[in-house]
Structure 1
Amino acid sequence: MKKICVVGSLNMDLVVTVDRFPEPGETITGREFATYPGGKGGNQAVALGRLGADVLMIGKLGNDLFGEQYLNNLKENGVILDGVKVEEGVSSGIAVIEVDSTGENHIVIVPGANGKVDRAFIEENWHLMEERDIFLFQLEIPIDTVLYAVKKLKKAGKIIILDPAPARILPDDIFLNIDYITPNETEIETLTGIRIKDVDDLKEAGHWLVKKGVKNVIAKAGKKGAYLATSDDFVHVPGFTVEAVDTTAAGDSFNAGFAFALAQGKGIIESIQFANAVGAISTTAKGAQSAMPFLRQVETFIGQRMR
């Protein structure tokens, strides 16, 4: 099996449930409070660890209680920690999330140590990274670092998977270094400027990214599955119908499933099918990382659904 590396964010989510959001200057009483490990990088690493991948995490935490909790969580889920640094004098990345009775939310993100993942940190960990084969990136660390790392890794012959989330416009030169990009509908609209109203629009947007240099565009479409756009094809890979409870980090689970299947030598269509299954299962329980499936669950799920 190929070795995998996740380069990205590590956040602790601080979640408060309220009956309604407070007005400016108002103090209200919340109903519940909980902390959950999150951040797109950490989510993908934990999902991979649960599947049984050989996965290294490259990222930073603060020298605080959240950092300590997160390190323990990564270790418990089988993630290799050699590339995770505790940064002095800065907080761990956090997301303060208010959720009201209708399910709407307000979110404030403080990048903290994630903002310190710079070019020097990539160089510091290069000896670990060059031993890996498949790399996953997201956009919750500085974009300069992402661009620097993918260019350096591509020159070294590595496989690059980019989850372009949160949605933002990217410089054209990044696309030349991407083997697989996995946007959802909002993200592909932001990347291309093409409004997605139907499958034809999605096809146009996918091929726009291919012309920019991306080898494979995998457009995530939720319960519909995913669409693969290449230089000479556009294919729908159907998803799986489940009773969704919480879709938090379903996209991160998808990316982890896809990378895991690729690492096992599966073809791209089979890898997308596996990713669809991992993403679907992750929505059937509450929480992000806590709902991510183990390999046996995924194999059983696929076996039952694809008879």
Structure 2
Amino acid sequence: MDASRERGRVLVVGSINTDLVACTRRLPQAGETVLSDSLATVAGGKGANQAVAAARMGASVTMIGCVGRDAYGAQRIDELAAEGIDCAGIEVSDAHPTGLAMVTVSAAGENSIVVASGSNGALSPASIHANEARFRVCDVLVCQLETPPETVHAALVIARRLGKLTMLNPGPATHPLPVDWLGLIDYLVPNEFEASILAGFSGLAPDASVTAEQAAGRLHRAGARNVVVTLGERGVYVVGDGTAGTHHPARKVRAIDTTAAGDTFVGALAGKLAMRAGLMDTLTHAQAAASICVQRRGAQPSIPRLEEVRACVAA
């Protein structure tokens, strides 16, 4: 039997970035300059992070994306390949540089991120259609919103036509999704702020957990099969598949950097689902993976491996 079939196959369509991470005592306010305690250059991008997380959970992973023909692009492909990820679907652009994210992390573990999309914006629907063979052999498709929306939509449409499980992590979200998107999504995984925007709420309610519940319910009724709202240190709220909404508390840990925590959760979720795990077991492992991630610095360097997650779950 094909070993990758036993492991489950995840196809990630998304962004590949280089992260410039500056650590500060606190995040700057508008118009303020603060001094950084350190600066690091690390691999990132929501798509690439999620691909690495799924691979480290034991899934067989393929990545479709676009980097620039520059040193950063070559480094990112080499690093993904070193994780065992199939990079044959990654294009190299002569016209655009590799995506770049400027990340500021406070001593409390909070972050603010500015992304220069670069070559991520060059990933087109034509690229998706050219890779249809990769969709045919995957179990789960994972997308985000750091590549053009028409490209994400093309990927969801192909995956739905082929009967594949689909997952959308809608970050960054700036407005509700087009009405025809939600019916294409088996797992919609926003954070609470994104869920509020997608559901059409003008802002967060005083009790953010109530807003998450309301937003998840509205998105589920609008067509998303399952909605998993991440709530940071408060855990996740899940509604879908005909079940009542449930809250799953997070593990209590001391966070030092929340960068890539959401991506780790999404990638671990996809990896476990591709391996036919049940939703409750999948959520347990994904939350454990995220709890390990926030105790480390950086994006991809902070993503745990399967044996670490298993030990965390067993503890």
Q: TM-score, normalised by structure 1?
A: 0.91
Counterpart of 2:239 in structure 1 is: 229
1:66–1:192: structure 2 CA closer, same or farther, 3 Å change rule?
Answer: same
1:104–1:184: structure 2 CA closer, same or farther, 3 Å change rule?
Answer: closer
Aligned residue among 144, 150, 154 for 2:150: 144
Query: Does structure 1 residue 125 correspond to structure 2 residue 135?
Result: no
The offset of 1:105, in angstroms, is 6.3
Does the 8 Å contact 1:41/1:138 carry over to 2? yes
**1:51-70 mapped onto 2 (5 Å cutoff):** 51-70=57-76
1:75–1:165: structure 2 CA closer, same or farther, 3 Å change rule?
Answer: same
Does the 8 Å contact 2:239/2:246 carry over to 1? yes
Counterpart of 1:173 in structure 2 is: 180
In 2, the alpha carbon distance for the partners of 1:31 and 1:61 equals 30
Query: Does structure 1 residue 303 correspond to structure 2 residue 303?
Result: no
**1:276-295 mapped onto 2 (5 Å cutoff):** 276-295=287-306
In 1, the alpha carbon distance for the partners of 2:234 and 2:40 equals 32
How many residues of Structure 1 are paired with residues of Structure 2 in the alignment? 303
In 2, the alpha carbon distance for the partners of 1:42 and 1:105 equals 19
1:23–1:292: structure 2 CA closer, same or farther, 3 Å change rule?
Answer: closer
1:23–1:253: structure 2 CA closer, same or farther, 3 Å change rule?
Answer: closer
Match of 1:172, SS? coil
The offset of 1:131, in angstroms, is 1.2
Q: TM-score, normalised by structure 2?
A: 0.88
Match of 1:189, SS? helix
Counterpart of 1:202 in structure 2 is: 212
Q: Which runs of 5+ in 1 are unaligned?
A: none
| Structure 1 range deviating more: 150-159 or 191-200 | 191-200
Counterpart of 1:84 in structure 2 is: 90
Post-superposition CA distance 1:87-121 (Å, at most 9, x none): 12221111234567887766442211100111110
Counterpart of 1:94 in structure 2 is: 100
Structure number with the bigger relative contact order (C-alpha 8 A, sep ≥ 6) is 2
Match of 2:289, SS? helix
**1:10-89 mapped onto 2 (5 Å cutoff):** 10-16=16-22, 32-89=38-95
Does the 8 Å contact 2:57/2:272 carry over to 1? no
Counterpart of 1:3 in structure 2 is: 9
Does the 8 Å contact 1:50/1:78 carry over to 2? no
| Structure 1 range deviating more: 62-71 or 89-98 | 89-98
In 1, the alpha carbon distance for the partners of 2:30 and 2:188 equals 40
Task: State percent identity of aligned pairs.
Answer: 36
In 2, the alpha carbon distance for the partners of 1:296 and 1:158 equals 28
Does the 8 Å contact 1:21/1:100 carry over to 2? no
RMSD of the alignment, in Å? 2.5
